[in-house]
């Protein structure tokens, strides 16, 4: 279980970073999504992993899983989902107005002082 989660976080992060370093907006956005999945899994695991345990404290409960990371993950999911939507729209706008989807700016025609 630990190995599975850890390698999932690692693989997702590595793939995300690789994609983020691409030149065009589409792969970069995919990359940020992968990174946000990685961070969600990571947050989820930050309260220690407990199998088949309820997240809520009850009188007499023998074991439970920490409910807080689950709340944090929910917040993080909502925020990263919203942010991804925003970046898709802005990237679309940039693509439509500039006719290319490169992330970095083309070299500006450099006007130097005469």
Binding site for another protein (CB under 8 A): 20, 25, 28-29, 32, 35-36, 38-39, 42-43, 45-48, 55-61, 64, 67-69, 71-72, 74-76, 79-80, 82-84, 86-87, 90-91, 93-94, 97-98, 103-105, 109-114
How far, in whole angstroms, is CA 44 from its chain's centroid? 13
DSSP state of 99: S
Shortest Cβ 50–another protein spacing (Å): 12
Shortest Cβ 61–another protein spacing (Å): 7
> Roughly what angle, to the nearest 10 degrees, separates helices 25-45 and 2-20?
160
Strands (DSSP E) contained in the chain are none
């Amino acid at each position: 279980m630990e190995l599975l989660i850890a390698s999932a976080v690692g693989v997702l992060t590595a793939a995300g970073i690789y994609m983020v370093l691409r030149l065009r907006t589409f792969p970069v956005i995919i990359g940020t999504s992968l990174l946000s999945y990685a961070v969600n899994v990571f947050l989820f695991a930050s309260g220690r992993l407990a199998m088949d345990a309820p997240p809520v404290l009850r009188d007499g409960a023998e074991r439970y899983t920490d409910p807080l990371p689950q709340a944090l993950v929910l917040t993080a999911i909502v925020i990263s989902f919203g942010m991804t939507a925003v970046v898709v729209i802005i990237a679309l706008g940039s693509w439509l107005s500039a006719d290319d989807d490169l992330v970095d700016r083309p070299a500006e025609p450099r006007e130097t002082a005469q």
